[in-house]
Structure 1
Amino acid sequence: MKLVTYRIGENEKVGILTPEGDSLYPMEVFDLNFKTMLELIDNITADQKKMIQEKMSSGILDAIPLRKVKLLAPIPQPRQDLICMGVNYFEHVHEVNEFVDDGNFKNQDPAIYFSKRVNEAVAPGDYIESHSDIVKDLDYEAELAVIIGKKARNVKAKDASDYVFGYTIVNDVSARTIQSKHKQWYFGKSLDGFTPMGPIIVTADEFAFPPKLKLQCKVNGELRQNTTTDRMIHTISEAIEELSQGMTLLPGTIISTGTPSGVGIAHNPPKILKSGDIVECIIEGIGILSNQVK
């Protein structure tokens, strides 16, 4: 399934994309009443998923054209801060060490985790706030995000796929000077408007595990990042096993799995985002997350 959160009139709702991708089915056509994506993740059953698939296959459901709704981030207000993985692609290690002041990373280093505060995730098509009064080097990071589907504690890597609800795209927007100034990543990645997310959640059953998907980022049409998700150093399974040892991952937890090489700060000279720039984060099978810098 390809799940969306959308606004129609004054109402925020959850829906499912049609196979054609140009319309959506509201949950009401399935006689389901999930009011938010988090409520759906918490409560949907295997029987309900099967019923949805059967009804969608019938082809007789009423759908709403996407042009009549406003797509929101799939989880507009995450239950907790995002868990992010830092320096988690092989080629990104090299560019960070070369171009970032505090870079001193190795492929065999333990995984790096940090949190990213998000009061409200930025919807597809909405603005990235530049915070130009305090941010002088705004940057992009296209990332595959994993959504946990059930309470996870002391999970073994071999069982990790059982805990994955689905996947979406996150742009881990970053203020590089703030990162360097404070010698940690939390503040420089957590300003308002720094978490574009979407456009959809694709449920885990749509991909083989672990997913091997083409991941790209374009700025004003220029290809900046280009890799596949099997180039991660630390895998999704490893992250779920490690994080769940002594720390409970609740349903709806979002793990953003890191960005590949090609970030703006690593170009020579740096290609920093400016007002008016269009950033497209693209992941095969999920779609395009497009946002303009304000």
Structure 2
Amino acid sequence: MKLVSYVADGAVRPGALRDDGRIVDLGGLAPSVLALIAGDALDRVRALVSDPATRLAPSAAPIVAPIPEPRRNIFCVGKNYREHALEFGGSGFDGGAKGGDEIPEAPIIFTKATTSVVGPFAPVLGWLDPDGQVDYEGELAVVIGRGGRAIAAHDAMSHVFGYTIVNDITARGAQKRHKQWLLGKGLDTFCPMGPTLVTADEIGDPAGLRVITHVNGELRQDAPVSDLIFDIPALIAAISQGISLLPGDVIATGTPAGVGIGFSPPRFLAANDIVSVRIDPIGTLENPIH
């Protein structure tokens, strides 16, 4: 099942995307997708979607991020694809790295502010970066359904509600200058998310998914999720060791090689560029740079 958040009559409402492209309104079940996750309402959602008399959203209703207002910061993972770790280490922008430690021995966890989240087609405000070094990072994101602390890796997948796409937009100069990543990655609009939230039962094994990123139609990233250094169970176990994960928490799992700083010279994003990240069956997350 594909869940979305859409706008109607000036309000954001939860919905389910049908195969014919129409959105089933779920506002009668909960006020938001986040509330649906916390309320364990999937069986009721399925019943509504299969009811031919159910209420539909307006056909032109715009889609926003599936969780437009997360309850707390987005958990993110740095250098979690081997080839990307190597390109980042060799770029000169990894302010915290020392020679020879490009491949991490444990997951590198940072966060992006809740105010960084925007939806499909929403502009990324690249002008907020005074250095003009805005970069893209297409990523698979995991959404937690059942919360918990000290979750064992062997039980971690039972805590996954579903999956979406995140573009971990980054101001590389700030990332390097501050030698930590929040200020370079948490800027307003620097976390495009969506277009859908696909439930775990529809995905099956996420290792079979593929992350594909284009900039202005040019292929930049293309890698299977199976290439993750630390897989999803390992990430959930590491984060939850001492931090309780909550229903609706979002974990961006890391980006493959092919980001702008991997080129010589770097190929940063500029105004009017279009970045699209595709992971089937989640869809394509596309955003312009302003």
Is the 8 Å Cα contact of residues 78 and 120 (structure 1) preserved in structure 2? no
| 1:70 has 2:69 as partner | no
Q: How many Å apart are 1:50 and its aligned residue?
A: 3.2
Is the 8 Å Cα contact of residues 124 and 287 (structure 2) preserved in structure 1? yes
Secondary structure of the 1:271 match is coil
Find the counterpart in structure 2 of residue 289 from structure 1: 285
Report which stretch shifted further, 244-253 or 169-178.
244-253
Q: How many Å apart are 1:244 and its aligned residue?
A: 1.1
Give the letter aligned to residue 115 of structure 2. Answer: N
Q: How many Å apart are 1:55 and its aligned residue?
A: 4.8
Is the 8 Å Cα contact of residues 154 and 246 (structure 1) preserved in structure 2? yes
| 1:90 has 2:82 as partner | yes
Identity of aligned residues (%): 40
Find the counterpart in structure 1 of residue 114 from structure 2: 118
Matches within 5 A, 1:30-49: 32-45=28-41, 49=42
| 1:19 has 2:15 as partner | no
Give the letter aligned to residue 76 of structure 1. Answer: P
Q: How many Å apart are 1:35 and its aligned residue?
A: 0.5
Q: Distance in 1 between matches of 2:37 and 2:7?
A: 19
Task: Check 1:251–1:227 CA distance in 2 against 1; reply closer, same or farther (3 A cut).
Answer: same
Give the letter aligned to residue 83 of structure 1. Answer: F
| 1:254 has 2:246 as partner | no
Task: Check 1:217–1:210 CA distance in 2 against 1; reply closer, same or farther (3 A cut).
Answer: closer
TM-score norm. by structure 1 comes to: 0.92
Secondary structure of the 2:117 match is coil
Q: How many Å apart are 1:215 and its aligned residue?
A: 0.7
Find the counterpart in structure 2 of residue 153 from structure 1: 149
Matches within 5 A, 1:1-294: 1-20=1-20, 22-27=21-26, 32-45=28-41, 49-57=42-50, 59=52, 61-64=54-57, 66=59, 68-102=60-94, 103-104=97-98, 105-107=101-103, 109-119=105-115, 121-131=117-127, 134-294=130-290
Is the 8 Å Cα contact of residues 143 and 171 (structure 1) preserved in structure 2? yes
Q: How many Å apart are 1:284 and its aligned residue?
A: 1.5
Secondary structure of the 1:64 match is coil
Is the 8 Å Cα contact of residues 145 and 168 (structure 1) preserved in structure 2? yes
Q: How many Å apart are 1:90 and its aligned residue?
A: 1.5
Q: How many Å apart are 1:289 and its aligned residue?
A: 0.4
Q: Distance in 2 between matches of 1:262 and 1:53?
A: 39
Secondary structure of the 2:6 match is strand
Q: Distance in 1 between matches of 2:129 and 2:284?
A: 29
Q: Deviations over 1:164-207 (max 9, x none)?
A: 01111011000001111111111010111111111010011111
Task: Check 1:115–1:166 CA distance in 2 against 1; reply closer, same or farther (3 A cut).
Answer: same
Q: Distance in 2 between matches of 1:186 and 1:120?
A: 11
Q: Distance in 2 between matches of 1:64 and 1:270?
A: 43
Q: How many Å apart are 1:62 and its aligned residue?
A: 4.6
Aligned length, in residue pairs: 286
Q: How many Å apart are 1:208 and its aligned residue?
A: 1.6
Is the 8 Å Cα contact of residues 37 and 75 (structure 1) preserved in structure 2? yes
Secondary structure of the 1:226 match is strand
Q: Deviations over 1:209-261 (max 9, x none)?
A: 34421111100000001101111000110111121112101111111000000
Q: Distance in 2 between matches of 1:210 and 1:24?
A: 25
Give the letter aligned to residue 201 of structure 1. Answer: L
The CA RMSD measured in Å over matched residues stands at 1.7
Secondary structure of the 1:147 match is strand
Give the letter aligned to residue 74 of structure 1. Answer: P
Q: Deviations over 1:129-156 (max 9, x none)?
A: 0125613210000011111112211111
Q: How many Å apart are 1:57 and its aligned residue?
A: 4.1
Secondary structure of the 1:84 match is strand
Q: Deviations over 1:52-81 (max 9, x none)?
A: 435534555453354x20111111111111
Q: Unaligned 5+ residue runs, structure 1?
A: none
Give the letter aligned to residue 65 of structure 2. Answer: A
